[in-house]
Amino acid sequence: MEIQPLPVTLWQASLYWLKLGFISFGGPAGQIAIMHRDLVEQKRWISEKRFLHALNFCMVLPGPEAQQLATYIGWLMHRTYGGLIAGGLFVLPSFFILVGLTWIYLTYGNVPAVAGLLYGIKPAIVAIVLFAAYRIGSRTLKNRALWAISAAAFLAVAVLHIPFPLIILAAGLIGYSGSRVAPHYFRTDEAHATADGQSGGALLGDFTPVPSHALFSWTRLSQVAAAGLLMWLSAMGILFGLYGWDGTFTQMGWFFTKAALLTFGGAYAVLPYVYQGAVEHYLWLTPAQMIDGLALGETTPGPLIMVVTFVGFVGGWVTQVFGVEAKFISALAGAAIVTFFTFLPSFIFIFMGGPFVETTHGKLAFTVPLKAITAAVVGVIFNLALFFAYHVFWPRGLNGDIDSFSIGLVMASIIVIFRFNVGMIPVIISCGILGMTWRLLA
């Protein structure tokens, strides 16, 4: 007979979530794998089925699914405080690390060694984004209908320049309609068919009663929605009162609220939208800086969407909202504002939807449009990889010389990632060292 795990206090859980915030490398797949190993297999805080059921919900939501999953489990175990601590500690270590790295990047980025390091990392990012498209596509594109949606999304963003939100909306509508006309093309119940159904004596087992705070009620739903909306309106109202609607910080809050609502399929999928706004429209940073930011985001713990912290920091640094002598304060404020507005919806969605999800075990029909959306995301991510490849291969545009060394690094990275299954961090570090060595010896 298996021994039931002891109850977990909020303090014990908080220490784990803090540790997770520092070790959560490897993107959403790696972060979810870490939580599964720790919480399901080792600590047995939650059963396999319950873990995967929560994950299905988080995959449907816009936002970083790994951070939302941590928030969900923290909320389920220790109410709202537990969710806030779990989700917050998942992000905070990455925030401070990225702020420090971005300051070094902006202050010493032109130092040959640092510039060479970033020069080598960029080709690795091209290979990693390609692998992300392949990995998601191999799991998602199971028939011609889904392949067609993916191809249409690629053409829509690459050729027709249709805004990313419209692509996601169209894919969701196609999935909803297809689930009624041809449901076998869009069924999602096979996505996690590996669950063995065993609770394993978990604290939150398959048949553990729903905690009282997780019971669904329309009153609680409306209260959470009102509180979330009040927080958003208060923050936006303060920025509007201080800086006006056209102020940099106000526009950051507004833009990244919209971006937060569009992060279906992970950070790679929303990066084109962030690029369109932050680089092309607001001019907060350059295309090269956007790639550098993604490189820094890949090498730090936490969700990859934390690259928005880099964007906010650089935007605040460039616009110098508080004056030339306070560039760092402006940059830190920009990073904090962008991070707050990016993650606020994730907490609201979990606290609103969690009680409903706890009533839907074995009833995943509400996840049906995910297949079509994910298929579209594959096409968008592939377009993103081509965009990065263009800027890496032709750093001065098509009229400039092609960068043969970068092409070689991309090919080598693709081989070691696809053929030998080498992790992202070793590839990034190796390419960075090679790039730095090449630049210093050239």
pLDDT of residue 269: 67
Distance from C-alpha of 180 to C-alpha of 186, rounded to nearest angstrom: 9
Using alpha carbons, list the distances in angstroms from residue 439 to 108, 110, 356.
16, 12, 55
pLDDT of residue 433: 92
**Structural domain span for residue 335:** 94-190+213-441
pLDDT of residue 2: 55
Instruction: Give the angle subtended at the CA of 85 by the CAs of 79 and 87, to the nearest 5°.
Output: 100
Contacts of 170 (CB under 8 A, 6+ apart): 376
pLDDT of residue 412: 95
Q: Does residue 196 belong to any structural domain of this protein?
A: no
Q: Does residue 2 belong to any structural domain of this protein?
A: no
pLDDT of residue 199: 43
Distance from C-alpha of 193 to C-alpha of 208, rounded to nearest angstrom: 21
pLDDT of residue 227: 96
Instruction: For residue 84, give both structure tokens.
Output: 């806030």
Distance from C-alpha of 247 to C-alpha of 243, rounded to nearest angstrom: 5
Q: Does residue 409 belong to any structural domain of this protein?
A: yes
Give the tens place of pLDDT for each residue, 348-372: 999 999 998 887 665 545 556 767 8
Classify residue 359 by burial, with Cβ atoms within 10 Å: 0-12, 13-18, 19+: exposed
Q: Does residue 130 belong to any structural domain of this protein?
A: yes
pLDDT of residue 372: 82
What does the DSSP assignment read for 369-419?
THHHHHHHHHHHHHHHHHHHHHHHH-TT-TTS---HHHHHHHHHHHIIIII
Q: Does residue 334 belong to any structural domain of this protein?
A: yes
Distance from C-alpha of 151 to C-alpha of 162, rounded to nearest angstrom: 14
Would you say the pTM of this structure is higher than 0.85? Answer: no
Q: Which amino acid is at 5?
A: P
Q: Does residue 74 belong to any structural domain of this protein?
A: no
Q: Which amino acid is at 323?
A: G
**Stretches in the chain below the pLDDT threshold 50:** 1, 188-199, 364
Q: Does residue 376 belong to any structural domain of this protein?
A: yes
The number of domains in the chain is 1
284-290: long-range contacts, CB 8 A cutoff, minimum separation 24? 284/248, 284/311, 284/314, 284/315, 284/318, 284/319, 285/311, 285/314, 285/315, 285/318, 287/391, 288/391, 288/395, 289/314
Q: Cα torsion for 137, 297, 309, 75, to the nearest 10°? A: 70
pLDDT of residue 191: 43
Nearest CA among 309, 315, 292 for reference residue 391:
292
Q: Does residue 49 belong to any structural domain of this protein?
A: no
